[in-house]
Structure 1
């Protein structure tokens, strides 16, 4: 029987409960987003010399960028210094290459011991029995959940099993260059409508000459569907094109505006990769992201950025904003050392020292005591005080957020890739929004129907 993920209802109460919100040898890291790793395994090996017990070696694989890799490596080094019987080899790549490589290693039977998992992919990996059921580690205390809301455990649970530990809370957000906004004399509301956003873009371009980036990806399409009270993949499965046609119409409207960045520059300055985002060099004044990405993006920009809620449509039936697990850690079902992997995950989530290193880069910590300790520590330092705004943003977002959508069904990844193709065709004027909506729905529905058969 096909597994179904326990739905996580994250409403305003989450502000109090959840937040206030195989192993490869290391190589040289680059900033392009290609596979890159670091490890301090040699240091750990030195500390185990003379011990009779052979050290356990774990592989850890995650998506991210250079900032995440550096912080994760620092945390791993600390863990290995405290656990001389464990060696952890770290490897990362960017989002675009992560899932292809994870699928390849999984099908080859050498999935890394610990993998970063996304809410949208959880069904796929549990249904193929690729993930280890960590329920035993909850029951025997290996994983301590005393200061963690039950909704966190529910978010990683499938058919009564526990397969993924949430590493933080995350909310879609809108980021902007505060200097450019100030120079233009405009004010960014806590949550703009897309119509208000359009007007702001016009003013900023008139006053400063800086262009705008409009998110034409699945996130914006999902946002517009949610504003209509709909779930994007239900709409596709039903062959209903109205909300997605509206999405394509917004893509077209913004692209035709003089203030919009050209499709050609978007290819060069890929907004999906932190190190190449157009906001970095002020080619654009804005960006669309998730709250846990703020630290990485601001760090890459070299300046503090403003943050507000993801825009919604002017005729929204409900607020489309939602809270979700930023990402999980899961253990491979093929791991030879699941208990040691679980012990590391427990430390990663529950250690104040670990999370002081991470600084909320993977989202606001799910452990309430860790969360309070970090917020207090950050506020004391001028260098980290800016990160407190992420905590405050999630508090505000939790007050208006509506329940998260179900996990993505089979075929949604391919359907999402197809959406990108249609968006590009709309941006280049090769197809009208109306035709794009109808034709996309027809093709995407076929993709998902075929995937459901497998």
Structure 2
């Protein structure tokens, strides 16, 4: 999402719906999906009242294409259901969703991100999914309670985890090897500094960092948190971590080893736009579920690498790559729940998804997919399995106001890189303005 090296890998394999083939183009316009699918014999046995579902998600073209295939499959098994699709790149997706929420007209099933969960759930716009689970509309028998709890806000299950992922650096290992660079899993920020210098000397760049994600990771590595437990202020009291993180980042930028801000501003964050695709960059940073989309776009071998330390185990965590939510305003909540169940638990559907939305949360689905995985899909599954043993519990969902704080952090980081403000003054400014936002948004 955001230069969103994110790879939720399989979670990404098990979540929202993508669009691209069949309907609206990659511009994110609405379309009806699956009209060419013929009803199956079993589906036509009983007459059911017609139902129309609106389903929305974000992603790149590859996600859109396979999601529409999953929708076609759902329609074959449920010919009484018509599905209208809405999709876009990450930033555009949330811009489209905001006026729909204001008009009480959110899609019946829509992809949810952890950054927005508290905002939508805390303001009463999302349905508690637990009663639908209790009605057996969503099967959770092969899903751990820990996984499910990642979608809770104030004790209510407002989002269903579609898959899990972990932060990672995606590297072009062959390109790095030619430069004499070999990375280990226990590397440090100093090692990354050395890599940056070598990469620059070889006429290449490396991937930048989305600061709301990676500054939060860095804080965890030094024993701090982005937000206080009550969500009313920042979670770190000393500005040293901010200064250390952005001082290093500014040095990288000044050296020319990161993409310039003006070029970055033209991108939507889709895998196809990544600078690794034309071979300009040797790395990208994000979630593990984003690996598949990028690897497919790059069309050469890529590898998943843990982020630098020290403190990497404390910084790393397993995260819902994305969720599915149902709005309070939906008139077809039970059918929406059945669609989520299909996306999460249906083996045939997941043979299409294959963990692109993150490693599947169902143990039954994971077992069924193992023999079918490609080399790149195995890399994602293996990395998430490794991260499960080399990480710490995730923080609670971001508090109300965090979206404003993330925008503030992005704006201030650009002021730093454009030399409009010193890192020290930026740290003070961010603290003052972020705390004001969080205090204002306290419930």
Same fold? TM cut 0.5 = yes
Describe how 1:288-367 pairs up with structure 2 within 5 A. Answer: 288-312=285-309, 314=310, 316=311, 319-367=314-362
Alignment match, 1:11:
none
Deviations 1:183-210 (A, max 9, x none): 112102224212101101222333x321
Describe how 1:350-389 pairs up with structure 2 within 5 A. Answer: 350-378=345-373, 384-389=374-379
Once residues 105 and 216 of structure 1 are traced to their aligned partners in structure 2, the CA distance between those partners, rounded to angstroms, is 27
Once residues 419 and 217 of structure 1 are traced to their aligned partners in structure 2, the CA distance between those partners, rounded to angstroms, is 7
**CA contact under 8 A between 2:56 and 2:110: conserved in structure 1?**
yes
Alignment match, 2:126:
131
Once residues 38 and 67 of structure 1 are traced to their aligned partners in structure 2, the CA distance between those partners, rounded to angstroms, is 17
Alignment match, 2:10:
none
Alignment match, 1:390:
380
Task: Choose the corresponding residue for 1:217, options 211, 235, 238.
Answer: 211
CA-CA distance at 1:258 after TM superposition? 4.6
Once residues 258 and 441 of structure 1 are traced to their aligned partners in structure 2, the CA distance between those partners, rounded to angstroms, is 28
Once residues 351 and 216 of structure 1 are traced to their aligned partners in structure 2, the CA distance between those partners, rounded to angstroms, is 34
Change (3 A) 1:98 1:416: same
Once residues 216 and 362 of structure 1 are traced to their aligned partners in structure 2, the CA distance between those partners, rounded to angstroms, is 19
Once residues 371 and 349 of structure 1 are traced to their aligned partners in structure 2, the CA distance between those partners, rounded to angstroms, is 11
Q: Which consecutive residues of structure 1, in runs of 5 or more, have no partner in the other structure? A: 1-18, 379-383
Alignment match, 1:80:
75
Once residues 292 and 142 of structure 1 are traced to their aligned partners in structure 2, the CA distance between those partners, rounded to angstroms, is 27
**CA contact under 8 A between 1:352 and 1:370: conserved in structure 2?**
yes
Once residues 399 and 229 of structure 1 are traced to their aligned partners in structure 2, the CA distance between those partners, rounded to angstroms, is 19
Task: Choose the corresponding residue for 1:277, options 271, 274, 279.
Answer: 274
Change (3 A) 1:29 1:452: same
Describe how 1:393-412 pairs up with structure 2 within 5 A. Answer: 393-412=383-402
Deviations 1:54-91 (A, max 9, x none): 42110001111111111111101001011111111111
**CA contact under 8 A between 1:167 and 1:349: conserved in structure 2?**
yes
Change (3 A) 1:50 1:360: closer
Change (3 A) 1:45 1:335: farther
Change (3 A) 1:317 1:275: closer
Alignment match, 1:252:
250
Alignment match, 2:428:
438
Once residues 423 and 338 of structure 1 are traced to their aligned partners in structure 2, the CA distance between those partners, rounded to angstroms, is 41
CA-CA distance at 1:433 after TM superposition? 1.3
RMSD: 2.6
Deviations 1:100-158 (A, max 9, x none): 32221112011110011122322222222211122222222221111111112222233
Task: Choose the corresponding residue for 1:154, options 149, 171, 181.
Answer: 149
Normalised TM-score (structure 2): 0.88
Indicate yes or no: 2:24 matched with 1:28.
yes
Normalised TM-score (structure 1): 0.86
CA-CA distance at 1:304 after TM superposition? 2.7
Higher helix fraction (1 or 2): 1
